[in-house]
Structure 1
Amino acid sequence: MMKQSMFAFSLRKTLVLALFALLAMGACKSKKKAVQTAPAPAPVEQVQTPPPAPAATRSAEEIAAEKLENYFNSVARASSANSANQSIQETLAMFSNQETPVLIVIHEENGIKDYDEPTTIKKYLEYLKDTKKNLNYISDIRMDANGKVSELELRRK
């Protein structure tokens, strides 16, 4: 009887081991299936940054407006009448003539602009010299074919 129980014991042991092996193999297959059936991750798109844009070239109007703002400030802040007059002469060289119109917008609604009494660049520069205040900024500038300012529109700061 002893042989029989030993045989039965080892048969039982073998069956249990086989069962564990089947379960283990089944588990491995299901893991493989899970790995295989999982959708592949979407390819990561590499965002290529465009090369930096070339330095923005400024228009003649933008350059002239910047220079004029500096001239207007130097006339208004001049320490003496002589330095103000020198700045005025330098500023006038940028204009087609001393009678170039200067329009000052006092109100705008729905695209319709109301202007203060029109003046000339010469009179406006004298006004800056007398008041010692530059209360306006350039909102529009027009240039002629020679690169000189032919019309100037200002607004309150």
Structure 2
Amino acid sequence: MKEKFISFSLNRSLMFALVALLAVGACKSKKKAVQPEPTPAPVERVQETPPPAPAQPSAEEVAAQKLESAFNSVAGASNVSMANQSIEQTLAMFSNQQTPVLIVIHEENGIKDYDEPTTIRKYLEYLKDTKKNLNYISDIRLDANGKVSELELRRK
């Protein structure tokens, strides 16, 4: 009988401890719910500035795009008369037919080596003959009238 009494009191104390533990756990969660949340710091309203307008391409960039297109049309012309017509239209973009065209063949530590200097007329005739545009515009200089006064090319 003494064993029954001990096991009965042990079961009772375990049950009591479990109920007490649940009650304490429940109280903690109520305390968290009852405590007021801290007020958020006031947010300063900054007037939103409109996004900057997209940058307009410079005159050099526009001229370079037009020249690339013109070079490709000269090189890709289907016959000689179309190539000659494209050459005449392209020459109108230059200050004169003797405008220098420099082709960079090598660059190291900022020092450039150029192929033999040529003129725009000769370069356009070269494009017409080879039917290949192997160079791209790396530097372009415009005069006061907005026409090309010097052109630097590089291999693609």
Shared fold by TM > 0.5? yes
State the alpha-carbon separation in 1 of the partners of residues 87 and 35 from structure 2.
82
Query: Partner letter of residue 27 of structure 1?
Result: C
C-alpha displacement at 1:55, in angstroms?
2.5
Query: Partner letter of residue 103 of structure 1?
Result: L
State the alpha-carbon separation in 1 of the partners of residues 72 and 95 from structure 2.
21
Greater alpha carbon shift after TM alignment, 90-99 vs 54-63:
54-63
Asked whether 1:52 is paired with 2:69, we answer no
State the alpha-carbon separation in 1 of the partners of residues 122 and 53 from structure 2.
41
Greater C-alpha Rg:
1
C-alpha displacement at 1:150, in angstroms?
0.4
* Aligned residue runs from structure 1 range 78-157, under 5 A: 78-157=77-156
State the alpha-carbon separation in 2 of the partners of residues 48 and 106 from structure 1.
53
C-alpha displacement at 1:71, in angstroms?
0.4
Q: Cα 1:153–1:83, aligned 2, differ >3 Å: closer, same or farther?
A: same
C-alpha displacement at 1:27, in angstroms?
2.9
Q: Which runs of 5+ in 1 are unaligned?
A: 1-19
* Number of the residue aligned with 1:71: 70
State the alpha-carbon separation in 2 of the partners of residues 38 and 56 from structure 1.
47
% identical equivalent positions: 77
How many residue pairs were aligned?
134
Greater alpha carbon shift after TM alignment, 53-62 vs 145-154:
53-62
State the alpha-carbon separation in 2 of the partners of residues 127 and 146 from structure 1.
27
State the alpha-carbon separation in 2 of the partners of residues 151 and 125 from structure 1.
14
Query: Partner letter of residue 102 of structure 2?
Result: L
Query: Partner letter of residue 132 of structure 2?
Result: K
* Number of the residue aligned with 1:10: none
Q: Which runs of 5+ in 2 are unaligned?
A: 1-19
Query: Partner letter of residue 125 of structure 1?
Result: L
C-alpha displacement at 1:65, in angstroms?
0.3
TM-score where L is the length of structure 1: 0.72
Query: Partner letter of residue 127 of structure 2?
Result: L
C-alpha displacement at 1:51, in angstroms?
3.4
